[in-house]
Structure formats: C-alpha cells, structure tokens
A and B are shown apart, each in its own frame.
Chain A
Amino acid sequence: MAPTTPQEPGLSAVPSYEEEQSQARFDALIDQDSRVEPRDWMPEKYRKTLSRQISQHAHSEIIGMQPEANWITRAPSLKRKSILMAKVQDEAGHGLYLYSAAETLGTTRDEYNEQLLSGKAKYSSIFNYPARTWADMGAIGWLVDGAAIANQVPLCRASYGPYGRAMVRVCKEESFHQRQGFEILLSLSRGTEAQKKMAQDAINRFYEPALMMFGPPDEQSPNSQQSMAWKIKRFSNDELRQRFVGMIAEQVKVLGLTLPDPELHFDEEKKQWIHKDLNWDEFMAVIKGNGPVNAQRMERRREAHREGAWVREAAAAYAAKQAQSEVA
C-alpha cells in the first residue's frame, strides 16, 4: 500500500499530490490493459470491489460442493462416483486458490470465512436449490458450470493480476466439469424412459436459475459499469447471458431434450437471442436467504467449522510446540 500521511478529518475530500500521482499511475495501468499487482496502489473502492467479488467466488466454490457431495455416496456407477469425487475435490481446490488471491487484497482467509459463516458475505444463489436427483449432477455440470465458465473466461483477463491468474486455472477445470455434466445428461437422454424423464426434469429446474447466475439485467445492475471501467468485468450481464443461452440452445438439441422456454429464439434483426422473462423476484428472495436450502447449506458449513474446531486448535498447538522446540 502507498504511504499515507495523517490527515484532518474532512481533508480527505481533497486528494493529496501523492494520491493524485498514484491514481494517475493506476489509471494508466488500466488504460494500457496492464495488470494491477498486490503491491501497486489501487483506489479503495477497487480493492473493496475485488475483495468482495473474489471472496464471494471462493465462498460459492465451497458452498457449491454441497449439492454434488450429496450424490457421491449414491453415484450409480463406480466410474461416475470417481469423476464426481474428483470434481467436488476440484471445487475445494478452487476455493483455496481464490481465497489466496483474495488474501492479497489485505483480508485474511479467516476473516473471509467469518464473513461467510456469519451470513454477511454472499455466495452464488444457484446453490440454494437442492440437488434432488442424479440428473442434477448433469444439469449442474452443464448449465451451472457452463454459466460459470461464460462468466469466468473473460475474468481470466481481469485487471487484477492474482485474480486473472487464478481464473485461468479455475476455467480449465470448470470446462472439464461442464463436459462431464453434459456427458451425464447425454447418457441419461439415451437411456431408459425413467432416465430421460429425470434428465428433462433436472434441466427444467436448473434452466432459469442458471440464466440468473449472470446477475440482474444491465439497467438494474449499477455496479457493473464501474467494474467494466476498471476492466475487472469485460462484458455486461446481458451480453454474457445472451452468449450462454445461445450456446445451450444448440447443445440441448444434441441431447434430444428441450429447454423450458417456449419463447426462446434468435432474433435475426436484433442479432440476439430472446428468452422468456426471468423471475427476478424469486432471485432476490433467494439472495435474501429464502431459497429452498439456504438454511441447510449454511448450517452444513457452520457444522463442519464447529466440528473441526478441536482439530484446528490441536494443529495450531502442535505447530506452536514444534516452533518452540526448534528455538530451544
């Protein structure tokens, strides 16, 4: 962080010469499409925005393990079980390196974790829907990971270095997950009537929440503009949603299944995909904590933290003893 001199309250409204210089350097980095690194000066709002965004992303990975972990012990073949375990484990890994990226902004992982457990921090609201059937493992992979990729591929070029680099790794694995999800649905769609029905039902339930993962429509998303100016975000919510819905509209044909959206079509004149109106009231309700399994997800995370307290304490005590004996 750049050195700051103590100031009279109120004086901060007028930037000092040093601050103006720092701001100019930061603006130049952004203009040149260069990367901002942890030791560079950055505006407080940029830091806060990133800190919130990266930690929310990390929290989403961690909470997002739950719906899929729910099916590991019941996976219908050993190969599927193995693939699903690897996937959920990848998510823990993503959480770890996203927390590392977020820590470079000056907040510790413990603090971020506290924000999650206290309910102060949010995570992707899609994970507040239950994974009811095995086909949900397919729909989550194809639609939820697919939407995540559409969101995240541009983030690989985010102006903040540690975030962009973390996203490169995350995206590679996510795209692998999406293929696996699609493959699950493909197997089901070529299977028995019951399997086909299961696949269609999962798509029906996840389609709309997946589209809402891109966030509110552009005109209702005030923070997006600033994020785009800072080159954290490269495309607007609606642009990304467009791109995604066009992609899945094609892919669903391969499955021989349908998207639950009779209005979905490509408008040749506007050169864009038109989808049905999404239920933003439900979206807001889920964000506020009223989704089907918000309470369950939070309790599970708190429980793991609570039950693991003695283990972490013991590990810390042991490490302290070791450090002491090395000094002695």
Chain B
Amino acid sequence: MKHEELDEALDSFGDALASATRVTPGNALRPEDIAVDGVKPSEEVAQYALTLGDDALILAQRMSHWISRAPELEEDVALGNIALDVLGHARSFLTYAGLAWDKTEDDLAYWREEEEFTSLWIVEQPNGHFGVTIIRQLIVSIFQNLLYKQLTESKDETLAAISAKAVKEADYHRDHAIQWTIRLGQGTEESAAKMRHALEILWPYVDEMFRDEEVHQNLEGIAVLPSTLRSAWEEEITAVLDAAGLEIPSTGQAMAYGRRGEHSEHLGYLLAEMQVLARKHPGASW
C-alpha cells in the first residue's frame, strides 16, 4: 500500500485523530536516520558500538518488565520512561553497528545466539525487588553517564551524536536512582536492610564494567577505555551511598566476561522470551 492510501485510510478515523501528535522520548535521533544518513563504521567501531547497544538492549528488556508492576503509579511512568530511553539508545547503537554487516537492529536483537551478545553481566541480573532494580540502576546509570559524556567527544561522529542525546537521558536516570537510593537507604529499617542486600548481590559485577577488553583496543580517540572511568565512578557512588547511610559491601568479584560472549545463567531466559515471537516467523515484517 502506498503512503497516500494509508493516510487516507487513517484519516477515516476522523477529527479525533487529526490532533494526535506525540514525540516519544528516544525518538529525537531516530535509528532510521542513522540507517539512512550514517557512514558505515569500520569493523572495530561496529564491534564497539555493538557492546554499547547490547548493554542498553538487555537493560531495557529488564526495565520494561516493571511497567504495570511498580510500587506506585508514578514509578510505572518513571521506570517506563527509563526503559524507553534506554531502548532508544540500544536501537541507535545497534543500527549503527549493523551498517558494517548489512544487518538491521532487529537482525542483531532477534537473530543472534546468546554467545554472540556482548553485554555486561550487571545488566542481565534479574530485577529482584524494587531496591535491587534501583541499585542496579545506580551502578549502571552512573557508569553510562560518565561513559556517554566522554563519548560525546569521540572522533566518530555517529557515536558522538548518539551519546550527546543519550547523556541527557542517562543524567535523568542517574538522578532517579540516586534519589531512590537515598530515600530507601534512609527510609525504614526494612528498606535499609533490603538496600544492603541489593548491594551485596550486585556488587560482584562491578569489576567487569571497568575491564578493558580487546574490543576497546585500537580505537584511540573513538572509544572510551572503561578503566579510565573507574575513579570518577567510585567517587560518585561512594558519595551517594554515604548520603544514603549505606556502604560498599565487601563481596568478591565474579569472573564475568560478557564482552566475550560468556554470560551468567540469566541471559538465556531473557533472550528466549525476547526472541520467541520473531523467531517463530522467520522473514516476517511487523
């Protein structure tokens, strides 16, 4: 069907629809624009963009599960917003990466196997209770905020443009996580205990975020070496935990190598759910 015909059909909905306009957050720099205007990235840049896209995609998938399950309606909206933003980042990075291999964002999201995903273990960790999700958000959003801020200065213009938009949103995500960490850390005995527990179960996946891997090499001025973000991250998260009356737990660190495609036991289930419908209908468009 031609566009004109579709418009005509949709117009038959009447005046009620004429005024309907809405720009969803995450759509300002649309993946479609990247696909059309983007310069094809080199293999190295594409691999790097893939790691950024995978982190965001898996996190968005986790966060989206909260919608309709949050502790209060305002949080259904807030967590939904965050999930939507992060999914937007994923779509942009994946679209860009895919240009190197003539693949779409959907080819990459739905048709890769678990061992081809390069996401960090922290993002695939289950939502748990609200406090676990908040601590995961605290750890990841401070990290992503620092990362995207640096990437706005990347010599790769597309990465810089995606990050320029992402950093503003990640800033809000960080704020949201900080406020809840303080509120729950200082709220009741019960909430403080739950937050301490959340820190204990998630802290083992911190080291992995800052490990420089092969994918980060040979991209000077383009990629950010994760190790260079660690001190700023530690300073910031320590200040937040201080304000919340919480402490960095003395847990060990997991041998986590998500960047190499080695994942925890959680990712398989997440992907099975995410990919099931698309894979049932190979070649279909939606």
B47 near A: Cβ within 8 Å? no
A179 to B19, CA, bound (A): 12
Main secondary structure of the interface of A (DSSP, over half): helix
Chain B nearest CB from A127 CB (Å) reads 11
Interface bits A123-158 vs B (CB < 8 Å: 1, else 0): 000000000001000000000001001000100000
For B61, the chain A residues whose CB sits under 8 A away are 73
Q: Is the CB of B71 within 8 A of A149?
A: no
A153 to B20, CA, bound (A): 13
A308 to B188, CA, bound (A): 14
A178 to B11, CA, bound (A): 12
A141 to B129, CA, bound (A): 31
Selected interface stretch from A15-23, A92-100, A271-279: A92-100
B278 near A: Cβ within 8 Å? yes
Q: Is the CB of A315 within 8 A of B183?
A: yes
For A184, the chain B residues whose CB sits under 8 A away are 286
Chain B, range 247-286, C-beta contacts under 8 Å to A:
273-274, 276-278, 281, 283-286
A69 near B: Cβ within 8 Å? yes
Instruction: From known contacts A78-B105, A186-B6, infer whether A175 and B286 are also in contact, taking CB-CB under 8 Å.
Output: no
A89 near B: Cβ within 8 Å? yes
Chain B nearest CB from A196 CB (Å) reads 11
Interface bits B45-66 vs A (CB < 8 Å: 1, else 0): 0000000000001000100110
For A62, the chain B residues whose CB sits under 8 A away are 73
B10's partner among A93, A179, A311 (CB-CB below 8 A) is A179
B80, B90, B105, B277: which has the most chain A beta carbons within 10 Å? B80
A317's partner among B87, B91, B106, B187 (CB-CB below 8 A) is B187
Q: Is the CB of A66 within 8 A of B68?
A: yes
Q: Is the CB of B84 within 8 A of A251?
A: no
A294 near B: Cβ within 8 Å? no
For A309, the chain B residues whose CB sits under 8 A away are 71
Main secondary structure of the interface of B (DSSP, over half): helix
Selected interface stretch from A45-53, A80-88, A216-224, A281-289: A80-88
Chain B, range 147-201, C-beta contacts under 8 Å to A:
182-184, 186-188, 190-191, 194
Complex: chain B residue closest to A68, CB-CB: B68
Complex: chain B residue closest to A256, CB-CB: B1
A81's partner among B6, B75, B87, B94 (CB-CB below 8 A) is B87
For A115, the chain B residues whose CB sits under 8 A away are none
For B229, the chain A residues whose CB sits under 8 A away are none
Q: Is the CB of B74 within 8 A of A96?
A: yes
Q: Is the CB of B13 within 8 A of A178?
A: yes
User: Can you list 5 A-B contacts (CB < 8 A)?
Assistant: A76-B284, A85-B80, A92-B77, A184-B286, A314-B187
A-B interface, 4 closest residue pairs, ranked by CB to CB distance from nearest: A308-B71, A314-B187, A314-B191, A89-B80
Footprint of B on A, CB under 8 Å? 62, 65-66, 69, 72-83, 85-86, 88-89, 92-93, 95-96, 99, 134, 146, 149, 153, 171-173, 175-176, 178-179, 182, 184, 186-188, 190-192, 194-195, 247, 250-251, 254, 300, 303-304, 307-315, 317-318, 321
Footprint of A on B, CB under 8 Å? 1, 6, 9-10, 12-14, 16-17, 19-22, 24, 26-27, 31, 57, 61, 64-65, 67-77, 80-81, 83-84, 87-88, 90-91, 94, 105-106, 109-110, 129-131, 182-184, 186-188, 190-191, 194, 273-274, 276-278, 281, 283-286
